[in-house]
Chains A and B, each alone.
Chain A
Amino acid sequence: MVNTQRNYDAIVIGAGHNGLTNAAFLAKAGLDVLVLEKNPEIGGATISRELHEGWKYSNCSYVCSLFRPEIYQALDLGRHGLEVVPLQGSTTFMQNGDYFGSYHQGPINRREIRRHSKRDADAAVRFNADLMKWCRLIRGFLLRTPPDPASFKMRDAMEFAHLLKQFYKLSESQIYEFIRFFTMSIAEYLEMYFESDVILAHYSGGSIIGTGLGVYSPGTAYVLLHHAMGDVDGNVGSWGFARGGMGSISKAIAGALQAHGGAIRRDAEVAKINVSGGKATGVTLTNGEEVNAKIVISNLDVQRTFTKIMEEKDLPEDVVTKAKNFKIRGSSGKLNIALDGMPSFPALPKGSPLTLGHMHFTDTLERLERAYDDWKDDMWSQDPYVDIVIPTQYDPTMAPPGKHMMSVFVQYCPVEPEGGWTDEKRDAFGATVINQIADYSPDFKDLLLHAEVRTPREIELEVGLTGGNIFQGELTLDQLMFNRPFPGYAQYRGPVKGMYMCSSSTHPGGGVMGAPGANSAREILRDLGKDNTVPEDFGDD
């Protein structure tokens, strides 16, 4: 039982996977930690729920790659029930009835690229090597606190030196290329390598997922990296399924937290962080209950944290302004679908392994850009870009035998269509997506038993992601590294003493990574003079 008289060492607001990770490392260091979650279930955007009897959905996030193996190991998540199985391949279906398949076996993958362009098959070698260069660089920063470029404190100077050294290991021309990479659009970037329309479209998808940018918008090249920098067992760029859905990740972290003596309280929505004498003293719940703690950590995005659960009078003016200006427009929707059987995709040869991977239906850059145009006009894309996976081809725990669950990530969907969201509009959005799938899978509609349709409205209402932004804030250079969430606040410390941030709004950003939670815990333990329980980066070399 939670003792409200008790003064906790730390309260974490939000049981998203980062809040849980943060709390677990604090508990491991011996702190008396309480996590407060507004929902009846933990996990935030890393959750599995049963909405149709017998079927489990990964309601928000659906594939795992970014999650740091260092955290997995340090929190012993395998023994707490987590298992991440690599998924294989990807396909873009074409309007002319053909398809481009990316096979998980090298030789056949190359032959398939050659089927579309001999030149692209060879260019893929250069592309992969170049992408790996930037991945290596960025991976080294994930489990580190970003340095504050304006500070002269010793520790920061050393961090900065580290950053420069990382940089200097690049040749001069590589440094220029890297800077260019951060500012380019994915279309421009890929056109330096590939000529085939479908291949350009296929590789672009990862660059627009979750972002309010189009394939021709500067900055999208980086988003590709954000999706390519993770790994499954050292295979950089691979993605995996968490057995039992993404909720298994949160559950395992919660298991570790509890094993270290931490507590979680569900249905406990925080109304306000209490501040007294310029210091955080605890929280007040929406039911009026007060819970005290020496420090308070927010797992909510920074806009929500600083404009919804903190009072303006408690905060420096610039923080409130920065929080209001934080770019956090949502742009994605999600369908989770229970299927009575495996849908067929007649474009693929019988028995093709390609259904085991990601599936997309957008075969040109132009169609991707058009999808974006609709979003700019506050409409959902009439011809959306979807990322479909059917995890039940691997996972026996998410649907009855022979039945399937399909996860459909949809780009783009507006924060608010003209006149605002209604249930009818939500369903019309769902129908747009379902019709698109049915164009490529004639038996799909007949197999459909239940669908959960989520627009940014549903995502915000349930998970509390402002605007439904899946990354808790746009991943553009002005909001990355030492600019995340804002300059001067990139080291997880809030503007009020004893208040910290641990969410995806902080470095290294969104995705099921655990890194923001872990990095934040490291800073907190340092401030408290406690032994560090947060692991160091394994290092690629």
Chain B
Amino acid sequence: MSATQHLDFTQIYHHSPFHDRIEAISQVKSWSAWNGVQTARVFDTVASEYFAARSTTSVMDLTPMEKYRITGPDANEYLNHLVTRDVSKLKPGRVSYVVWCNDEGKVIDDGTIFHLREGEYRLCAAHHQLDWLLLSAEGYDVEIEEETFDIAALSVQGPTSCSVLTAAGIDGLDSLKPFGLIHANLNGFEVCVSRTGFTGDLGYELWCDPEHALAMWDAIFDVKARGLYDVRPLGLEALAMVRVEAGFILPGDDFNPADSTVRAGHDRSPFELGLGWLVNFDKPYFTGKKALLAEKQKPTARQMVKLVVEGNKLPVDSFLFDRKNGKRVGTIKAYTWSPILKANLAFAEIDTKNGVVPQEVWAEIYYSKELEWHSTWAKCSVTDKPFWNPERKSMTPPSAF
């Protein structure tokens, strides 16, 4: 018959180019799917992976993240129309964190724009965006290509990450500033290195042709084999801790992406997500501008906030109240115990008072000890800053550890 390229239906999850190494290094074989790719939840223990990110170097496979290459004469204009932030002046070699909205001003996704080389961009996104990117391209002279699996990517994060990568053979990191990127050479192949990440700490993301994926992985882990620095893989569970500490919200986890929201009013605007700083009304036009301008006229009714929760009981799926046994004013969206801060941290959505965010709320927490359930109240204070934002994150040149 024909030369059908059958899928292997016995392999439900896609394998990343790092699969063989990941499979081999995983001690507990705990998997889940990230954008359909088999991804480790835990490799060894959550604690050891967490502390790799915070005190040495952690490595995570970033390949499953959605990636799109955007080129063509109108590429910059197109992107500037797509996202709420002003990226018209994003220089080659720079990266910008952005969100994009639908016409109603509700957030579809967040991500980063990499200006790789003059006129050549990469958009990284949490969720599948090709449909929206192409719908938005009407009238622009751009080429948009999904390249998720055409690029192998690793996130190398932690206080010794610069030292590790330098020892692995990558030059030029000393002068690389946060949100900058360089094209480097690693053992004879090209690697794009950006000083970006999801941990709120010193860290880099490495991008290369899948053909060199294993060589890139091996070069990094070889630093450990040579006895120079500890390097450990990072699973999704430890990532969930460090990303809350860093103050990064996750579309799909902490709020509904607008394009897949079913119930009216269950999607969110950048203002509701506390991402108003990403909205630039000085731009002549961007998708959702009209709706967001209109929204701005009224006080925001509810808002995503960062909470420090007193005590040591985790606010798992808790409702929030204006005082103990008071009126319900919100819900917890994400939470973690922070080993480095010795505090419970959370993202929560709470009702404002006429646009003003209350600074203190109470969580009703249910917890069990040896299968017996208890409940308690914990005071929560709202904070504007990332929970964890160490100086070493932005120092250039970075310190050795």
A residues neighboring B (CB under 8 Å) = 96-99, 103, 105-108, 110-112, 115, 118-119, 121-123, 125-126, 128-129, 132-133, 136, 169-171, 173-174, 193, 346-347, 349, 351-354, 541
Q: Inside 8 A of B7's CB, which chain A residues have their CB? A: 108, 111-112, 115
B1-59 contacts to A, CB under 8 A, are: 1-2, 4-7, 9-14, 33, 36-37
- Whether the pair A349, B13 counts as a contact (CB closer than 8 A) is no
Task: Report the minimum CB–CB distance from B288 to chain A (whole Å).
Answer: 13
**Other-chain contact of B4, A108, A133, A347 (Cβ < 8 Å):** A347
Q: Can you list 22 A-B pairs, Cβ within 8 angstroms, ordered by A?
A: A97-B2, A97-B4, A99-B4, A106-B36, A107-B12, A108-B7, A108-B9, A111-B14, A111-B36, A115-B7, A118-B146, A121-B130, A122-B130, A123-B131, A125-B128, A129-B260, A129-B261, A136-B262, A169-B264, A171-B265, A349-B6, A349-B9
Q: Inside 8 A of A351's CB, which chain B residues have their CB? A: 9-10
- The reply on B134 being an interface residue by CB < 8 A is yes
- Whether the pair A115, B5 counts as a contact (CB closer than 8 A) is yes
**Other-chain contact of B128, A121, A169, A171 (Cβ < 8 Å):** A121
Cα(A97)–Cα(B6), bound, Å:
12
The residue in chain B whose Cβ has the minimal distance to the Cβ of A127 is: B131
A-side interface mostly = helix
Q: Inside 8 A of B1's CB, which chain A residues have their CB? A: 97, 346-347
Q: Inside 8 A of B104's CB, which chain A residues have their CB? A: 171, 173
Task: Report the minimum CB–CB distance from A36 to chain B (whole Å).
Answer: 44
Cα(A349)–Cα(B10), bound, Å:
11
B217-275 contacts to A, CB under 8 A, are: 259-265
A122 and B131 in contact, given A107-B36, A347-B4 (Cβ under 8 angstroms): yes
Cα(A281)–Cα(B3), bound, Å:
69
Map CB proximity to A onto B114-136 as digits: 1 under 8 Å, 0 otherwise: 00000000000001111110100
- Whether the pair B260, A125 counts as a contact (CB closer than 8 A) is yes
Q: Inside 8 A of B132's CB, which chain A residues have their CB? A: 122, 126
B residues neighboring A (CB under 8 Å) = 1-2, 4-7, 9-14, 33, 36-37, 104, 127-132, 134, 146, 259-265
The residue in chain B whose Cβ has the minimal distance to the Cβ of A107 is: B36
Cα(A170)–Cα(B4), bound, Å:
43
The residue in chain B whose Cβ has the minimal distance to the Cβ of A354 is: B9
Which of B2, B6, B9, B14 is packed against the most chain A CB atoms within 10 Å? B9
- Whether the pair A133, B36 counts as a contact (CB closer than 8 A) is no
Q: Known contacts A111-B14, A171-B104; can you find 12 more A-B pairs with CB under 8 A?
A: A97-B4, A98-B4, A108-B11, A112-B7, A121-B128, A122-B129, A123-B131, A126-B260, A169-B263, A171-B264, A171-B265, A174-B264
Cα(A110)–Cα(B37), bound, Å:
11
Cα(A222)–Cα(B400), bound, Å:
64
Which of A112, A129, A133, A346 is packed against the most chain B CB atoms within 10 Å? A129
**Other-chain contact of B9, A123, A129, A347, A353 (Cβ < 8 Å):** A353
Cα(A129)–Cα(B262), bound, Å:
6
Cα(A99)–Cα(B7), bound, Å:
11
- Whether the pair A105, B12 counts as a contact (CB closer than 8 A) is yes
Identify the 5 closest CB pairs spanning chains A and B, nearest first: A97-B1, A107-B36, A97-B2, A122-B131, A122-B128
Cα(A347)–Cα(B3), bound, Å:
10
Q: Inside 8 A of A118's CB, which chain B residues have their CB? A: 130, 146
- Whether the pair A132, B262 counts as a contact (CB closer than 8 A) is yes
- Whether the pair B134, A119 counts as a contact (CB closer than 8 A) is yes
Q: Inside 8 A of B36's CB, which chain A residues have their CB? A: 106-108, 110-111
Cα(A234)–Cα(B10), bound, Å:
26
The residue in chain A whose Cβ has the minimal distance to the Cβ of B1 is: A97
Cα(A151)–Cα(B10), bound, Å:
58
**Other-chain contact of A352, B9, B14, B263, B264 (Cβ < 8 Å):** B9
